[in-house]
């Protein structure tokens, strides 16, 4: 009954928004193929207004969300915010001071926001909870002028409600659906963010990754997703799984759009000081967008991890597509080193053997309890309360004990003897693998020379492109 009521509220908000603004959507602007750069140019030139842009996306949501379930909740203040943005743009303002002014964005439902939007990790247990402040990345988005359009659906509790939980399902959002192939699945846990951007329900979204949660949905749903090095983006105000591995990253339809968001959300946050302080000194002075140039691959050494990831039949469309991609990289000056292997890969890819499962189970309790303790109000205050709410078994986790410490050390050792060794011995700038198949290789890695703490594991950045699986 409660879930039905919440869905009805979402529908009423959509209908109200649409009914109040039908007359606004009279432009011939091509919203469907517009990049963030296109949107900014159109807004600055007066071809469209932020109200028109928001109304376009609300119309898309009204049409598509009942089927694909990308969005859990809409921001009822979005239209009012758009009015304020339009007035600001009509007055004198410096476009460089607010690079996302008037651009709507979706947030994964684990990213805290002040105001009317709930933050629930897809669970009814956290509905009506009240956060003390915006998450660090939300503060940065608002400062850049972005309009928070709503909260995207996700795999409930970032896949930690149950080992058998279906990708893209939550009690609040229902079952998310892949817009390109309803039977293919969405992957997760940042499923709604990927679905929403693919359907043009919003041009941009944020996801959170522990191990594949941005990379996998972006790959399956034909998007670009960036999983930044841990510490580049703040985790303050995030319902996290692991402080070692969790990181917030953008999801978009182009690399340039994703990087534009990344430039906005990176930086030091005193509420995540150790991680963001260590990483902040690696952020280039002009941001990351200047590195997007056609000649950027010239002289770069790129490793290709063939086995077991590129296991496509020789004449398949997948094999031919990747061969074409590699040829393009060569023509752009990249130095490709093929047929690489990581000797301990089978252990790394097994979360039970690598220690990842042991560590994450303990870290989830610590991270969740810390988040719940910080809330102004919440129906639940601990992991034990959440488990009781869901009528599950008693909590068996008691924190980081000897077994968990040994598991974390094991992951660091595996990574040092695996990917890190491969990268250093070959002086690679990057490695390539298809889809999200090697996300664990990067997720468990401890790379002390990367912008992160020594005891962190997600040392390297992931960049996901559309999969050809």
Residues with a catalytic annotation lie at 108, 189, 213
Would you tell me how many other CB atoms lie within 10 Å of the CB of residue 361? Answer: 16
Burial status of residue 313 (CB atoms within 10 A of its CB: 0-12, 13-18, 19 or more): exposed
In this structure, is the dihedral angle defined by the CA atoms of residues 409, 411, 412 and 418, taken in order, positive or negative? positive
The span from the CA of 26 to the CA of 24, in Å, is 6
441-450: b (≥16 Cβ within 10 Å) or e? bbbbbbbeeb
End-to-end CA distance of the chain: 39
Distance (Å) of CA 455 to CA 242, 260, 261, 441? 12, 29, 27, 16
User: Which tokens is 146 given?
Assistant: 């972005």
The span from the CA of 369 to the CA of 384, in Å, is 9
The span from the CA of 198 to the CA of 218, in Å, is 9
The span from the CA of 146 to the CA of 204, in Å, is 10
User: Which tokens is 244 given?
Assistant: 């070692």
* Degrees to nearest 5, angle at CA 115 with 212 and 210: 10
The span from the CA of 60 to the CA of 251, in Å, is 18
Sheet order of strands, 462-464 included: 71-74, 147-152, 104-108, 204-209, 247-252, 224-227, 462-464
The span from the CA of 101 to the CA of 197, in Å, is 18
User: Which tokens is 429 given?
Assistant: 């700038």
User: Which tokens is 95 given?
Assistant: 């476009």
- Give, for 262, the enclosing helix (H) or strand (E): helix 255-265
């Amino acid at each position: 009954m409660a879930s039905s009521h919440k869905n009805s509220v979402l529908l009423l908000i959509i209908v109200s928004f649409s009914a109040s603004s039908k007359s606004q959507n009279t432009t011939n602007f091509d919203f469907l193929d517009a990049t963030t750069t296109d949107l900014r140019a159109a807004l600055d030139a007066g071809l469209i207004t932020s109200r028109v842009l928001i109304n376009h996306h609300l119309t898309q949501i009204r049409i598509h969300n009942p089927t694909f379930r990308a969005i859990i909740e809409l921001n009822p203040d979005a239209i009012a915010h758009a009015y304020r943005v339009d007035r600001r743009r009509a007055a004198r303002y410096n476009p460089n001071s607010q690079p996302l002014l008037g651009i709507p964005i979706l947030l994964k439902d684990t990213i805290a926001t002040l105001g009317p939007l709930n933050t629930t990790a897809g669970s009814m247990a956290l509905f009506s909870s009240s956060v003390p402040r915006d998450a660090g990345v939300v503060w940065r988005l608002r400062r850049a002028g972005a309009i928070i359009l709503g909260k995207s659906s996700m795999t409930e509790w970032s896949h930690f409600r149950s080992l058998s939980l279906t990708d893209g399902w939550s009690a609040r959002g229902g079952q998310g659906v892949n817009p390109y192939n309803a039977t293919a699945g969405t992957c997760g846990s940042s499923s709604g963010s990927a679905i929403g951007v693919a359907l043009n329900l919003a041009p941009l979204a944020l996801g959170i990754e522990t191990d594949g949660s941005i990379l996998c949905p972006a790959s399956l749903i034909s998007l670009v997703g960036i999983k930044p090095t841990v510490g580049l983006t703040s985790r303050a105000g995030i319902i996290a799984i692991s402080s070692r591995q969790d990181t917030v990253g953008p999801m978009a339809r182009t690399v340039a759009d994703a990087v534009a968001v990344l430039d906005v959300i990176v930086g030091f946050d005193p509420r995540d000081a150790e991680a963001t302080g260590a990483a902040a000194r690696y952020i280039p002075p002009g941001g990351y967008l200047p590195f997007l140039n056609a000649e950027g691959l010239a002289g770069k050494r790129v490793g290709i991890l063939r086995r077991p990831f590129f296991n496509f039949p020789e004449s398949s469309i997948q094999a031919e597509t990747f061969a074409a991609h590699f040829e393009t990289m060569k023509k752009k000056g990249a130095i490709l080193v093929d047929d690489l292997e990581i000797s301990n890969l089978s252990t790394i890819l097994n979360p039970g053997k690598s220690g990842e499962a042991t560590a994450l189970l303990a870290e989830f309790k610590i991270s969740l309890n810390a988040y719940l303790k910080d809330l102004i109000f919440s129906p639940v205050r601990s992991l034990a309360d959440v488990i009781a709410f869901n009528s599950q078994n008693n909590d068996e986790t008691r924190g980081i004990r000897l077994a968990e410490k040994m598991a974390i050390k094991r992951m660091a050792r595996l990574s040092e003897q695996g990917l890190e060794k491969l990268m250093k011995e070959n002086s690679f700038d990057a490695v390539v693998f298809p889809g999200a198949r090697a996300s664990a290789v990067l997720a468990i890695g401890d790379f002390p020379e990367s912008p992160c703490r020594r005891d962190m594991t997600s040392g390297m950045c992931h960049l996901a492109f559309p999969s050809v699986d």
